Amino acid sequence: MSLFDSTAKPNPAGHRDLEVTLLPLPPPPEVRLIDVREPHEFVGELGHVPGATLVPLASVPAQAMSWDKQATYVLICRSGGRSGQAAQVLTRSGFARVINLVGGMLAWNQAGLKTER
Residues shown for the chain: 117
SS3 46: coil
Please choose, from the candidates 87, 17, 78, 16, the residue with its C-alpha nearest in 3D space to the C-alpha of residue 49: 78
Contact 13, 91 (CB under 8 A): yes
Q: Which of 31, 57, 76, 77 is catalytic?
A: 77
**Is 77 in the active site?**
yes
Positions marked catalytic: 77
